[in-house]
Amino acid sequence: MKKFKQTSILLLTMAAAAAWGLYPAVAQQPAGQEGPATPGRGFGKGGGRGRGPVDTAPKGPTPRMPDGKVDFSGNWAPNAITQNIDLANVGGQPPMLPWAQKLYEERRANLSKDDPEGFCLPPGVPRMSTTPYPWTMVQTDKLLVIVYEGGAHIWRKIFIDGRGHDPNVVDTWLGDSIGHWEGNDTLVVETVGQTDKTWLDENGHPHTKDMVVTERFTRPDSGHLTIEHTIDDPGAYSKPWTFTTHPTMLKGELIEYICQENNRDVQHLVGK
């Protein structure tokens, strides 16, 4: 297993993941290999399936809306600790431009002391899908709402009513998300208008304000999701690149998590 840097941010991530029983699924396996409950894949390459915990998520029929489209409603555990720490662990290094590569290396060298998530700022999209905290999805025929337990306890509104992007949404923490259906099984969500202050992972992969994130949501059965994330950001990467996460149905409900309250970690983020 690749030795992860022992930063206070990582320790918090591991602790939170352990609380939900998620971290052991990847902690004892080589980079890019996750157990049956967390079969990570990256940048078009299939991640291996190592020995992990037994997948107890229900495998019944995929729930559907009255019009036949998939219903993504439910409580979900992300199962994406490896991606949250370093996306390069699950498929190789994304094709960074020189300035982005330099910044990434600087962030790693100082032990991610400036990671915005360590200061209780929203992780942004796509990192909202890889933090160790679960989320709830509520769906109607025109709107998909995602309420996140972590990431400063925030939410996303994904409009699926045929509208276009709001040009007034610029330099925001979660951007403007618009979805459309491919058949009845795949919801494609495009997000634009995000600030460049967020990091794509703890190790510090950067992006610009012009980044476009496309998520492809599918639900193969009752207890499993697949989310394919594509990053298209010509200002930071030489070509688009993709990674995939595999959330499973959460056993239980979200709990209140307020990162901003009594945050004692900032004083420890000193780096090198």
pLDDT band at 46 (very low <50, low <70, confident <90, very high): very low
Give residue-wise pLDDT tens across range 157-186.
Answer: 999 999 999 999 999 999 999 999 999 999
Of 133, 134, 141, 183, give the one whose Cα is nearest residue 158: 141
Q: Mean pLDDT, to the nearest integer, of 92-96?
A: 94
Task: Indicate whether 45 pLDDT > 50.
Answer: no
Give residue-wise pLDDT tens across range 47-59.
Answer: 333 344 678 899 9
Task: Indicate whether 241 pLDDT > 70.
Answer: yes
Please name the helix (run of DSSP H) or strand (run of DSSP E) that holds residue 181, with its range, or none.
strand 176-182
Instruction: Please report the pLDDT score of residue 151 as a whole number.
Output: 79
pLDDT band at 223 (very low <50, low <70, confident <90, very high): very high
DSSP 198: S
pTM above 0.75, yes or no: yes
Please give the mean pLDDT across all residues of the chain.
Answer: 83
Instruction: Please report the pLDDT score of residue 247 as a whole number.
Output: 98
Give the span between the Cα atoms of 107 and 177, in whole angstroms: 28
DSSP 169: -
CA angle 15, 132, 104 (to 5 degrees): 95
Enumerate the domain spans of the chain: 8-268
Enumerate residues 6+ apart whose C-beta is below 8 A from 119. Answer: 263, 266, 269
DSSP 96: B
Give residue-wise pLDDT tens across range 51-89.
Answer: 446 788 999 999 999 999 999 999 999 999 999 999 998
Written as six digits, the tokens of 101 are 């590569």
Q: Domain 8-268: which CATH class?
A: mainly beta
Task: Indicate whether 23 pLDDT > 60.
Answer: no
